Amino acid sequence: MYEGVVQDLVDELGRLPGIGPKSAQRIAFHLLAADATDVHRLAAVLAEVKEKVRFCSVCANVTEEELCRVCRDPRRDLALLCVVEEPKDVLAVERTREFRGRYHVLGGAISPIEGIGPEQLRIRELMVRLADGTVTEVIIATDPNLEGEATATYLTRLLRPMGLRVTRLASGLPVGGDLEYADEVTLGRAFEGRRSVDD
Amino acid sequence: MYVSLLELIDFRSYPHTEVPLAAGVSVFLGPNGQGKTNLVEAVDYIATQSSHRVSSDQPLVRSGADRAIVRAQVQRDDRQALIEVEINPGGSNRARLNGGQLTKAREALGILRTVLFSPDDLDLVKGDPSARRRFLDDLLVARQPRFAAVRSDYDRVLRQRNTLLKTAGRSGRSRPGDSALSTLEVWDAHLARTGAELLSARLSLTADLRPHLTKHYTEVAQTVPKPGGGNDADLSYRSSFPLPPGAVSRPELAEALLGQVAVRRDDELDRGVTLVGPHRDDVTFTLGWLPTRGYSSHGESWSFALALRLAAFSLLRSDGDDPVLILDDVFAELDDARRIRLAELVRETEQVLVTAAVPSDVPADLLEHRFDVRDAKVTGARAR
Ligand SMILES: Nc1ncnc2c1ncn2[C@@H]1O[C@H](COP(=O)(O)OP(=O)(O)OP(=O)(O)O)[C@@H](O)[C@H]1O
Ligand SMILES: [Mg+2]
Ligand SMILES: [Zn+2]
């Protein structure tokens, strides 16, 4: 244990994802040794990001305005909706340039172990968006792992009775992985080869 | 195939050691607790990414270190492969193949294949069903490495589903449209899909294994055949739910499993665990008309355990390359007749690694490459 504020810093850093106690300690001492101006700049960005950045009121992608860049863009095809787990997945799909519709960010995947069920995800919001019939095809692009598949199955069962075309990305994505880490070519191909889901 | 070089860093009692190996029989000798089993355990770990002694990875890392590294140079036909596995008990393991990082450690499975005999093998016959399930699943992965993913998916489905069953059971199940119940159906579907994949693979594996088992048991036990196959060794798969009769396809198995899950719904909600599926299955071993469990003598049980490992070895050999045979402390446990049988197999196998406390435990003509193991240091190999 360190004294007072140093320990506070180590604790705070240790709460970030992917940072264990040892890394937290290393980062803390790096910050202590760094130039005051550098540390202040970091502190300012942290404060600013929290102040300015919020979630798009339509799709829950990150944005500095009411609507995100995609939802503001009049050239996007309103009939196509791509459902993803996280805002970072929007970025991954955008990089492929294969998709011209809009997005819906769920905020995670169904995982009972982590206490995440349909209520914890933005599924009610999705149903509201689909209600007026503008969207005719929903592409489910959850991660190609077990929880992503379970979420896709759940959504498919929910959406099919509404008479929509429901598609899932074609296989070829590395199984057990994260959408985020799929390279652009593979992900692009998966989009092109998407298929209707029977289950 | 054979291992030509083994390197351990912070694995078990070894801070750092390199052991050059050759094809043929290598015998590791030394008093108790010096690191003989640790050494062969490392070779087996490269092949299976699990240990025959412990279910968690923590004990594999030298106390005081935070990760262990095992490297093996493997010779297969004319090709060679350098496999490295880094064991991180806190996080996930990492593996490299010929210097290149693999996305998942389990992509390194199936390059080296091993069959390990140890005194604990008696558990296969006398122990819990889990020992027998593990025997089948390990063999499955050795034959078709992609089953490592199926197995881990199935385990994860089970954990997710059991958690959900517990919460759904608590929150009261009678409310229609309850979301816990609607997501339960999703996990039912995934349980049926992954469960059927595992089940169908185990069923065809047991079918492939049967003739090898019968043959090896007769050899090992040197029984006088009783009329009508009265003491033939056999095995049959015992599913935790009734299987549709006849040769069953994967979709049929999935459907049957899904049907059972529906039947057991209330039970499962009451108890908060998944009650049907391959995680509840077992294998019954029989000698003649009698099951080994509860009926076989100690000697018969030993012969059976040995015959099971030999059958696994023959099956892997029939797929192509010889697996590396590892005999951890087994000769000391065997009587003369069984020793001779095992020694015969050893002589015709490409590479065999043997551990023993004293040379007299090992048939004399097997002391080909001899290593001494003392205090986690390996010296040798001296020609006999
Ligand atoms: N993670 C670890 N860190 C340090 N030492 C360990 C670790 N795991 C095991 N050991 C030590 O390794 C020794 C056991 O080694 P091993 O099982 O290889 O013995 P052995 O030579 O096969 O003996 P035996 O003839 O009794 O079978 C024990 O002394 C144990 O304390
Ligand atoms: Mg030992
Ligand atoms: Zn948006």
> Judging by DSSP bridges, how do beta strands B114-117 and B324-328 pair with one another?
parallel
Whether B329 lines ligand 1, by a CB cut-off of 6 Å, is yes
pLDDT number for residue A191: 75
In a domain? residue A119: yes
Q: Is the pLDDT of residue A60 over 90?
A: yes
Same domain, A48 and A77: no
- Does B104 reach chain A within 8 Å, measured CB to CB? yes
Give residue B272 CA to ligand 2 midpoint distance, Å.
Answer: 40
Same domain, A165 and A91: yes
User: How far B338 CA sits from the closest chain A CA (Å)?
Assistant: 45
pLDDT number for residue A172: 57
**Chain B partners within 8 Å of A177 (Cβ):** 103
pLDDT in tens, A137-191: 999 999 988 999 999 999 999 998 998 999 987 665 655 566 766 677 777 777 7
Give the span between the Cα atoms of A117 and B218, in whole angstroms: 55
Same domain, A154 and A77: yes
pLDDT number for residue B383: 44
Q: A176, B182: Cβ pair inside 8 Å?
A: no
**Domains located in chain B, CATH noted:** 1-113+322-384 (3.40.50.300)
Whether B67 lines ligand 1, by a CB cut-off of 6 Å, is no
Q: How confident is the model at residue B384 (pLDDT cuts 50, 70, 90)?
A: very low
Same domain, A41 and A85: no
Give residue B81 CA to ligand 1 midpoint distance, Å.
Answer: 28
Structure tokens at B163: 């958690």
What average pLDDT is seen over chain B?
Answer: 90
Whether B62 lines ligand 1, by a CB cut-off of 6 Å, is yes
Same domain, A47 and A83: no
In a domain? residue A107: yes
Same domain, A42 and A129: no
pLDDT in tens, A92-132: 999 988 899 999 999 999 999 999 999 999 999 999 999 99
In chain A, the number of structural domains is 2
Mean pLDDT across B317-332:
91
pTM listed for this prediction: 0.85
In a domain? residue A164: yes
* Residue A126: alpha-carbon gap to chain centroid: 15
Is residue B18 within 8 Å of residue B6, measured between CB atoms? Answer: yes
- Domain extent at residue A115: 73-196
Whether B328 lines ligand 1, by a CB cut-off of 6 Å, is no
Write the CB contacts of B189 (distance below 8 Å, at least 6 apart in sequence). Answer: A153, A199, B258
pLDDT number for residue A132: 92
Of the listed ranges A91-95, B61-65, B363-367, the one predicted with least confidence: B363-367
Is residue B368 within 8 Å of residue B358, measured between CB atoms? Answer: no
Which of the pair, B199 or B291, is modelled with greater confidence?
Answer: B199
Mean pLDDT across B243-250:
86
Mean pLDDT across B273-294:
93
Same domain, A83 and A126: yes
pLDDT in tens, A64-78: 999 999 999 999 999
Name the residue among B103, B153, B156 with its Cβ closest to that of A174. B103
Same domain, A91 and A183: yes
In a domain? residue A57: no
CA-to-CA dists, residue B290 to B131, B166, B208, angstroms: 20, 40, 22
User: How far A145 CA sits from the closest chain B CA (Å)?
Assistant: 9
The CATH number assigned to the domain holding A34 equals: 1.10.8.420
The CATH number assigned to the domain holding A98 equals: 3.40.1360.10
In a domain? residue A62: no
Write the CB contacts of B46 (distance below 8 Å, at least 6 apart in sequence). Answer: B3, B70, B72, B83, B85, B108, B112
Q: A112, B157: Cβ pair inside 8 Å?
A: no
Which of the pair, B172 or B335, is modelled with greater confidence?
Answer: B335
Mean pLDDT across B295-318:
91
Is residue B13 within 8 Å of residue B35, measured between CB atoms? Answer: yes
Name the residue among B103, B156, B180 with its Cβ closest to that of A146. B156
Name the H helices within chain B: 36-48, 122-126, 129-143, 147-170, 179-221, 250-263, 265-271, 298-318, 336-347
Q: A153, B153: Cβ pair inside 8 Å?
A: no
pLDDT number for residue B31: 94
pLDDT number for residue B334: 83
Give the span between the Cα atoms of B71 and B95, in whole angstroms: 10
Q: Is the pLDDT of residue B177 over 60?
A: no
**Chain A partners within 8 Å of B190 (Cβ):** 146, 149-150, 153
Name the residue among B90, B161, B183 with its Cβ closest to that of A154. B183
Amino acid at B172: G
pLDDT number for residue B172: 60
pLDDT number for residue B176: 47
Same domain, A113 and A181: yes
Phi, psi of B214 (to 5 degrees): -60, -45
In a domain? residue A132: yes
CA-to-CA dists, residue B375 to A83, B12, B20, B38, angstroms: 58, 12, 18, 11
Same domain, A115 and A162: yes
Same domain, A105 and A169: yes
In a domain? residue A13: yes
Give the span between the Cα atoms of B113 and B251, in whole angstroms: 31
Whether B118 lines ligand 1, by a CB cut-off of 6 Å, is no
Portion of chain B with pLDDT greater than 70, in percent: 95
User: How far A153 CA sits from the closest chain B CA (Å)?
Assistant: 6
Which of the pair, B283 or B176, is modelled with greater confidence?
Answer: B283
For helices B179-221 and B298-318, what crossing angle results, to 10°?
100
In a domain? residue A165: yes
Same domain, A11 and A104: no
